[in-house]
Amino acid sequence: MDSVEQLLKDLSDAHGVSGAEHEIRAVLSHHLTVGELSTDKLGSLICDLGGDGPRVMLMAHMDEIGFMVRNITKDGFIKFIAIGGWMDQVVLAQRVIVKTRSGDRLGVIGARAPHLTPPDERNKMIKQENMYIDIGCSSKDEVEALGVRVGDFIVPEGKFDILANGKTYMGKALDDRVGCAVMVEVLKRLAREDLGTHVFGVASAMEEVGTRGAVTATNIVRPHLAFILEAGLAGDVPNVGEDESTEKLGGGPVIGLMDYNMLYHNKLRDFVRAVADDLGIGTQVEFMPRGSTDGSKVHIYGEGVPTLTLAVTTRYFHSHNAIMHRDDFDQTVKLLVEVIKRLDAATVDDISAFDIS
């Protein structure tokens, strides 16, 4: 593995369900060897790269979707509740890890076997409330003796792998560990530059449960300009039409145009597109009418913050295994580094200004 692959592996393999991001925060702290690190009181990690001029914030959320122990049955099965957005059909039969005070406990999400299911129910979707986690115990006492308590967090079990062609990678939590990796790489490269801005990187907490860390971290950074680094919604799979998504693996950095809670800043978008054209980097666009990002909170901070999402296209969002392409990652890092190098006070003022004549 090269250094980027190792970074992506470390971030993808790390555990960090919303509200319990301490393990992924430690991994990020290890890789962020530049700037001054601090946190807000929800656990978002802030890297102050320093510099003079307008404050430019790069934000990627470090939390992942998961579950929480809701109840333990007398027969030793764990009932759970989702943290973040899971589709029922991707949950069943998957391995998970219960995070307990006495260590990690491996289990599998189960439901009634098809052989025991009446014929008229076999083709119906099994809901999460009818599923359970089996960690191999036969009583509530046995489960509790292993340290499992109501309220314990549960994370998907998965490991980062490089697929056969060498350029596509598969792992859990690429939403949004790929954005975190972009942020780390960009900050490392910018640390060697003489910049006209004051740059911050933020790994936000609890994005998947209401973009909460975005609010608290933005209150600390007080940005003049912001880039939200995300995983993009791939459309290059069966049964997805071009009117839903035109994004594809290897198609280049994704520029957000709108989502459910915000319209991205036109002038900042055009500035980024112009830089991409100068570099000969092809870009893609994203519409997300049924989802949102940390930008929904960032862009309405104070008097308003010009905000844009840059994403790396990813297949199989919110599941145990997602797939990305290395070229998209490299091109996104290259583009964002050059964009920030070209920013200064006059440019930020121009992007932020509106004509009232």
Of the ranges 21-35, 102-116, 117-131, the best mean pLDDT one: 21-35
Boundary of a domain, candidates 156, 180, 208: 156
Number of domains in the chain: 2
For residues 58 and 73, membership in a common domain is answered with: no
Digit-coded pLDDT (tens) for 221-241: 999 999 999 999 998 898 888
Boundary of a domain, candidates 121, 156, 191: 156
**Residue 165 placed within a domain:** no
- CA 281-254-299 angle, to 5 degrees, is 120
**Residue 47 placed within a domain:** yes
**Residue 16 placed within a domain:** yes
Identify the CA nearest to 278 among candidates 334, 330, 317.
334
Instruction: Please say if 208 is a catalytic residue.
Output: no
**Residue 275 placed within a domain:** yes
For residues 266 and 346, membership in a common domain is answered with: yes
d(CA 25, CA 11): 9
**pLDDT confidence bin for 113, thresholds 50/70/90:** confident
For residues 132 and 177, membership in a common domain is answered with: no
What pLDDT is attached to residue 115?
67
The answer to whether residues 326 and 250 touch, using CB atoms and an 8 Å cutoff, is no
What pLDDT is attached to residue 120?
67
What pLDDT is attached to residue 355?
84
- CA 190-195-198 angle, to 5 degrees, is 90
**Residue 200 placed within a domain:** yes
| Rounded average pLDDT over 243-269 | 91
Cα–Cα distances (Å) from 331 to 129, 173, 224, 277, 281, in that order, read 42, 21, 25, 12, 7
| Rounded average pLDDT over 286-312 | 93
Amino acid identity, position 351: I
For residues 252 and 325, membership in a common domain is answered with: yes
**Residue 28 placed within a domain:** yes
Higher pLDDT, 146 or 1: 146
For residues 217 and 341, membership in a common domain is answered with: yes
Kindly report the CATH number assigned to the domain that includes residue 85.
2.40.30.40
For residues 147 and 256, membership in a common domain is answered with: no
For residues 198 and 244, membership in a common domain is answered with: yes
| Rounded average pLDDT over 216-221 | 98
For residues 46 and 183, membership in a common domain is answered with: yes
Q: Report the DSSP beta bridge partners of residue 233.
A: 314
* Element spanning 156, H or E: strand 153-156
The answer to whether residues 69 and 148 touch, using CB atoms and an 8 Å cutoff, is yes
For residues 96 and 149, membership in a common domain is answered with: yes
DSSP conformational letter for 128:
G
The answer to whether residues 51 and 206 touch, using CB atoms and an 8 Å cutoff, is no
**Residue 124 placed within a domain:** yes
Kindly report the CATH number assigned to the domain that includes residue 50.
3.40.630.10
Boundary of a domain, candidates 156, 180, 209: 156
**Residue 163 placed within a domain:** no
Q: Report the DSSP beta bridge partners of residue 45.
A: 39, 203
**Set 207, 208, 230, 247: catalytic member:** 207
Q: Could you list the residue range(s) of the whole structural domain that residue 134 is in?
A: 66-156
pTM for the predicted model, two decimal places = 0.95
For residues 54 and 113, membership in a common domain is answered with: no
Torsion of CA 282, 288, 291, 293, to 10 degrees: 40
Digit-coded pLDDT (tens) for 176-212: 999 999 999 999 999 999 999 999 999 999 999 999 9
Give me the phi and psi of 234, to 5 degrees please: -65, 140
For residues 229 and 338, membership in a common domain is answered with: yes
d(CA 63, CA 70): 20
Q: Report the DSSP beta bridge partners of residue 326.
A: none
For residues 235 and 300, membership in a common domain is answered with: yes
- 176 upstream amide cis, omega within 30 of 0: yes
d(CA 254, CA 310): 5
Percent of the chain with pLDDT over 90: 85
Q: Is the pLDDT of residue 258 over 90?
A: no
Our measurement of the distance from residue 293's CA atom to the centroid of its chain's CA atoms, rounded to an integer in Å, reads 9
Cα–Cα distances (Å) from 125 to 80, 86, 97, 107, 131, in that order, read 18, 14, 24, 22, 11
